[in-house]
């Protein structure tokens, strides 16, 4: 039997652990995914300069002292038109219901759009504590920060405002410390060594999709998805087979490139990232197929945790 003083220590340690679920929401391309990757020190959310890169709410887990912070990275908010786009935006709002705390993260170097203002007013429907996170302060003059803060808070009164540069990790420690103070749920929800809830196959698909966004321009990336066809995980080598689906025949040619040059670029960039994530040799094979109805497939929506509502 363990000594009484050691038992008491273990009990106190168990009680002292807490968790908090934080939903990160904001306009497209405001830096939400960059923020999450910097905080975790791991790549869990894909990043691109193009808007609407993130398509689903994924969870990143940070054990910050005795507090486990579960971040939900949500699709960027924008004026959705298609069924798929509407499902993405609805997913972002749905994740607010699961959160204990909301981060409204915005690019401070850009002006609020009319849609942003509508979103801020809509926040009043959620009885949640919310922090305003003004990102990219390295691009803003300090005298402008107070003005920006007052304008945004006039639409919704945030509990606190934080000024950060996700790219440079500036201001993030203060934000995390205050987040710890908001935690009031006992225990940890995930194992100590887990940093995301994404299945490995989906994480790999997201990495490849990021490379499509970064290597292919115009509308092509928005009309594409990546699906895993094969997976063979050995001790030192991971073999992955993926298919990129596009909606148009000419898009297939663009992704393949002249004599397959473009898809080789995409595959190489994806493989380099995956080897860092899995810490082993990766053999990645990519194929491209045309499926003009991929964004109407309920199975794909369900796999991403998106809900298609009848209209």
Distance (Å, whole) CA 11 – CA 36? 32
Per-residue pLDDT of the chain in tens (311 residues, 90 and over written 9): 445 454 444 444 445 899 999 988 888 778 888 898 888 887 766 454 444 444 455 778 899 889 999 998 776 555 555 665 566 666 666 667 778 999 999 998 888 888 788 778 777 777 788 999 999 998 888 888 888 999 999 988 899 999 999 989 999 999 999 999 999 888 998 888 887 766 788 888 888 988 888 888 766 656 788 888 898 988 889 999 999 998 888 889 989 999 999 999 999 999 999 998 888 999 999 999 998 887 776 666 665 555 555 44
For residues 166 and 137, the answer to whether their CB atoms sit within 8 Å is: no
- Where exactly are the structural domains of the chain? 17-186, 200-303
For residues 92 and 55, the answer to whether their CB atoms sit within 8 Å is: no
For residues 167 and 34, the answer to whether their CB atoms sit within 8 Å is: yes
Say what the pTM is: 0.67
For residues 28 and 106, the answer to whether their CB atoms sit within 8 Å is: no
Q: Quote the Cα angle for 97-202-258, to 5°.
A: 130
- Chain segment 214-241, per-residue pLDDT in tens: 888 766 656 788 888 898 988 889 999 9
For residues 48 and 128, the answer to whether their CB atoms sit within 8 Å is: no
Task: Return the CATH number of the domain spanning residue range 200-303.
Answer: 3.30.300.20
Distance (Å, whole) CA 53 – CA 206? 10
Q: Which CATH superfamily is domain 17-186 in?
A: P-loop containing nucleotide triphosphate hydrolases (3.40.50.300)
CA-to-CA dists, residue 79 to 45, 75, 90, 254, 263, angstroms? 22, 12, 11, 27, 31
């Amino acid at each position: 039997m363990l000594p009484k003083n050691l038992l008491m220590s273990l009990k106190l340690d168990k009680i002292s652990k807490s968790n908090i679920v934080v939903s990160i929401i904001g306009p497209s391309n405001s830096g939400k995914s960059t923020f999450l990757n910097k905080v975790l020190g791991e790549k869990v959310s894909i990043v691109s300069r193009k808007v609407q890169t993130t398509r689903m709410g994924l969870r990143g887990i940070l054990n910050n002292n005795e507090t486990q912070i579960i971040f939900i990275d949500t699709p960027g908010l924008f004026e959705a038109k298609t069924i798929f786009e509407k499902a993405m935006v609805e997913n972002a709002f749905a994740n607010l219901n699961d959160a204990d705390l909301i981060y409204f993260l915005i690019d401070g170097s850009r002006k609020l759009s009319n849609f942003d203002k509508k979103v801020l007013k809509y926040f009043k429907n959620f009885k949640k504590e919310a922090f305003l996170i003004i990102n990219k302060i390295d691009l803003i003059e300090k005298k402008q920060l107070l003005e920006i803060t007052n304008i945004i808070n006039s639409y919704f009164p945030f509990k606190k405002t934080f000024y950060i540069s996700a790219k440079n990790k500036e201001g993030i420690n203060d934000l995390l410390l205050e987040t710890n103070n908001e935690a009031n749920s006992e225990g940890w929800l995930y194992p100590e060594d887990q940093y995301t809830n994404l299945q490995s196959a989906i994480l790999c698909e997201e990495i490849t999709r990021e490379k499509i966004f970064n290597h292919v321009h115009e509308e092509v990336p928005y009309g594409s998805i990546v699906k895993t066809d094969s997976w063979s995980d050995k001790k030192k080598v991971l073999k992955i087979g993926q298919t990129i689906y596009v909606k148009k025949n000419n898009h297939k040619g663009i992704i393949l490139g002249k004599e397959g040059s473009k898809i080789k670029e995409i595959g190489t960039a994806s493989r380099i990232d995956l080897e860092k994530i899995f810490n082993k040799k990766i053999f990645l094979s990519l194929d491209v197929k045309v499926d003009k109805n991929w964004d109407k497939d309920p199975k794909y929506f369900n796999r991403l945790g998106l809900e298609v509502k009848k209209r």
